[in-house]
Structure 1
Amino acid sequence: MSDEKRLIKFLLENYERVGIVGRPVYNTSDTVSVRYGLALIQILDLDEKNQVLTTNVWSRYLWNDILLKWNPQDFGGVDHVRVPATKIWTPDIVLYNYADTRLREHREAMAVVSSDGTVLWIPMAIFKSTCSIDITHFPFDQQTCIMKFGSWTYDGFNLDVDFYDDLESVDITDYIESNEWKLLAYPAIKNVKQYPCCDEPYPDLTFTLVLKRIAAFYNYILILPCVLLSSLTLVIFWLPPESPAKMMLGMNVFVAFFLLLLLLADSTPPAASSVPLIGAYFCLNMILITLSTFLSVIVINLYFRGDKKSRVPKWLKRIMVDGLARIMCMNEVLDQDPPRAPERHAVPTNASECTSPHSRRHTKDRKKIKCPELKYNKFQPPVMDYRDGMNSTPRSQQHFSLPTQEQQQPQQPRSPLHSQALETDIREIKRILKTYMNRIHEKDAQGKIAKEWRIVARVLDRLFFFMYVSTIVVSLATIFPRG
């Protein structure tokens, strides 16, 4: 048997005689000092739904055991041996905030024992710890997870815990970079807690991992489609109010945002204490798109309301046209004032009114109302042509002129029948002209009302556009990281 085997057998026989239960001390009042360290190898997963952090680590334990001392000269100069950790006493330092269904976290590893009784135990472990997830700024979020270690049964008077090699941080010498998370900070601190039931202190070591999500993947599946759809929503307010594509585009964009919201729901915990801003942004876009679709119906209704005879209320015209249109620099709308309806003028009752010197003074009125020119033959009464209804111009109106002196010489005495026919034709001309002018006036008035409603609709559409742009800019400035 080699010296090493003789030594291991000697050490384990001592433990079999005294037992592995109980602290390796001479006096009960003695304190076992254990130094503990944590070396991070890899961040395996951070489950946002279950709020569990899974890490691959190396746990480092260092303590002194009086039952494992020997004189190297008695065993051929051997000063280090490896013994099974299950055969000797090991400190019950556990992870307080564990979230694991497994019975054991550590893999089996041998303990390195020195001749002075110093025991170094470095088992590999996969820890699953609880981590409070804050997804407010998802996918540009930053998570802070803690791992709290301490003795489960011993107080500070029986077992004191401190940092391995006085390293007050996580050891990342062998750390493998994660593709999803970037490790920003990894400090550690020792806490001593007093419980109300007991006077004994309970020390623990708290290791903190500050992680920042690498958002390159989410930029392509969430952020970029969101920005493009938001830009596409702006097109809704630039489409003409009478276009049916205005509502169709709004409904399609609404469905696209709803699909993005479902995709976001699969990546975030459903019972989170905070709502991600990007989720609120999606909901805000859906609300604005619904509102814009609803307002598009209002704009279309206002656009075509001019077909009715209801005028724009004065207060609405004062707010929209005189106020908001000037504030939003809609000069093209203000320059296109609704045409004024032509004033109604009296239609001359006979030819003498048109030829009288008093009527010539109203030159503008004569340009607006064409007086019929009388032109007749002394042997033939005027002939009227009403084939085209109100839109047709009487032939007598086209060719009437006052008779010249040559046509008056020699004058034949007109019969009463001819005079009566002439008066009848003039009265018919007056009636037709009056009807025609009234219809033109009604058409111009209706066009003026329609144009007023269309101007109000355009101003309202522009107002909604600026409101949507402001909301989108504020939302994006809130969601995207600064600096």
Structure 2
Amino acid sequence: MRQFVLLLVVVAAVLGQETEKIDSSDSTISTDRDRLLENLFAKYNKRNYPDKSTVQFGLNLVTVDQDREKDLLNSDVWLKISWTDNRLTWDPADYGGLQNMRITPDQLWLPDTTLFNGPAMQCTPTNAILYPNGKVLWVPPCKLTSYCNFTKDATAEQECVVNFGSWTFDGLTMGLEFFEKENKADISYFQGQRYKVTKNEAIREEKFYPCCVEPYLNLKFTLGLAPTTKKGIAP
């Protein structure tokens, strides 16, 4: 239920709605959806990518755990990823007023925004939501394993970074920005039984390398984590 409520909140943010409540019902008959799917994907090639799209990226922190022996931070998160694919637009009036479509991610081109500073990022392929203007919203739950240099004192605050960026796209081909300009992790649903968040900030970096003239972008989230007890173990 919490995941569903979060998704509705994210949808409202993407659409810029000012109303307090969202009607999530779907009364459109299936034939309208069938026609739309057929027309949208008749010539759509997911191996190609949209022109000059900007990815909005956010991080919703759910749980964290420290693997101190290996200097690894394990976390459960919900990523908030949104972009516009100008090949996937429609006029709702032509399809019974249809305002959105749930699409499995294997049907879509997906941005290759990934975790830079870690050995593992595993996401559940949940549905994405597609809107008439071509905007795509995808909120997959993911498990992250990122590197963190822990101090010897297990009772002290630890500062860890999770850093994301496109694996292949430069900043001129695909933009990268914070989701709804929120330059920190969302901790609204953080379940911190063992740790509490003591620092939460993020920066957008634009880097140039000797090989290339174009910039490369990344979003770096910095988290301060302190144990909830002096021994670092929850009661």
Scaled by the length of structure 2, what TM-score is found? Answer: 0.82
Change in 2 beyond 3 A, CA 1:34/1:81: same
| Structure 1 contact 139–215 (Cα < 8 Å) conserved | no
Equivalent residue, structure 1, for 2:89: 69
Q: CA deviation at 1:13?
A: 2.1
**Does residue 216 of structure 1 match 2:218?**
no
Q: Is 1:33 equivalent to 2:33 in the alignment? A: no
Q: 2:132 aligns with which of 101, 115, 139?
A: 115
What is the CA–CA distance in structure 2 between the aligned matches of 1:89 and 1:200, rounded to whole Å?
Answer: 23
Residue type at the aligned position of 1:166: K
Per the alignment, in what secondary structure is the counterpart of residue 116 of structure 1? coil
Deviation (angstroms), 1:174: 1.1
The secondary structure found in structure 2 opposite 1:187 is strand
Residue number in structure 1 paired with 2:118: 98
> Aligned pair 1:142/2:142, yes or no?
no
Distance in 2 of aligned mates of 1:22 and 1:218? 48
Contact 2:155–2:230 (8 Å) recurs in 1: no
Cα separation, 2, equivalents of 1:199 and 1:207: 26
Mapped contact 1:51–1:132 kept (Cα < 8 A): yes
Residue in 2 that maps onto 1:9: 38
1:377-428 Cα deviation digits (max 9, x unpaired): xxxxxxxxxxxxxxxxxxxxxxxxxxxxxxxxxxxxxxxxxxxxxxxxxxxx
Superposed CA deviations along residues 251-270 of structure 1, whole A, max 9, x for unmatched, are xxxxxxxxxxxxxxxxxxxx
1:215 positional shift = 4.0
Correspondent of 1:79 among 83, 95, 99: 99
Q: Give me the whole-angstrom Cα distance separating, in 1, the residues matched to 2:66 and 2:226.
A: 11
- Is structure 2 residue 46 aligned with structure 1 residue 20? yes
Aligned partner of 2:63 in structure 1 is: 42
**Aligned partners of 1:124 and 1:13: how far apart in 2?**
30
Identify the residue that residue 428 of structure 1 maps to in structure 2.
Answer: none
One-letter amino acid matched to 1:20: K
| Compared CA separation, residues 94 and 5, structure 1 to 2 (3 A) | same
Distance 2:103 2:70 in 1: 39
Q: TM-score w.r.t. structure 1 length?
A: 0.41
Shift in Å, 1:24 = 1.5
Alpha-carbon distance in structure 2 between the residues aligned to 1:139 and 1:113: 45
RMSD: 1.5
Contact 2:155 2:231 survives alignment (8 Å) = no
Structure 1 or 2, whichever has the larger Rg, is: 1
Counterpart of 1:274?
Answer: none
Deviation at 1:217, TM superposition (A): 3.7
Aligned AA for 2:215? Answer: P
1:4 Cα offset (Å): 1.7
Match of 1:277 in 2: none
AA of the residue aligned to 2:150: I
Alignment of 1:174-253 (within 5 A): 174-179=189-194, 181-217=195-231
- List per-residue Cα deviations over 1:100-156 (Å, max 9, x = no partner): 3xxx61101111000011110111101111111122xx1332211001000000101
SS in 2 for 1:66: coil
Distance in 2 (CA, whole Å) between partners of 1:33 and 1:127 is: 23
Deviations 1:423-452 (A, max 9, x none): xxxxxxxxxxxxxxxxxxxxxxxxxxxxxx
Secondary structure of 1:210's counterpart equals strand
The structure that is strand-richer by fraction is 2
Alpha-carbon distance between aligned partners in 1 of 2:231 and 2:190, rounded to the nearest angstrom: 23
Q: CA deviation at 1:2?
A: 1.9
Query: Does the CA-based 8 Å contact 2:185-2:201 persist in structure 1?
Result: yes
Aligned letter for 1:187? E
The 2-side partners of 1:175 and 1:8 are apart by 37
**Which one has a larger percent helix, Structure 1 or Structure 2?**
1
- What CA distance in whole angstroms lies between the structure 1 residues aligned with 2:73 and 2:155? 18
- Partner amino acid, structure 1, of 2:67: D
Aligned length: 204
Q: What 5-or-longer segments of structure 2 have no aligned partner?
A: 1-29
Structure-2 residue corresponding to 1:410: none
- Structure-2 residue corresponding to 1:473: none
**1:185 & 1:151 partners in 2: Cα distance?**
25
Higher relative contact order (CA 8 A, sep 6+): 2
Residue pair 1:107, 1:124 contacting (<8 A) in 2 also:
yes
Alpha carbons 1:14, 1:67 under 8 Å: kept: no
User: 1:99 and 1:52 mapped to 2: Cα distance?
Assistant: 9
Matched with 2:145 is 128
Match for residue 156 of structure 1 among 154, 161, 171: 171
User: What does residue 314 of structure 1 align with?
Assistant: none
Gaps in structure 1 of 5+ consecutive residues = 26-30, 220-483
Question: Residue 97 of structure 1 aligns to a residue in which SS?
Answer: coil
* Counterpart AA for 1:196: P
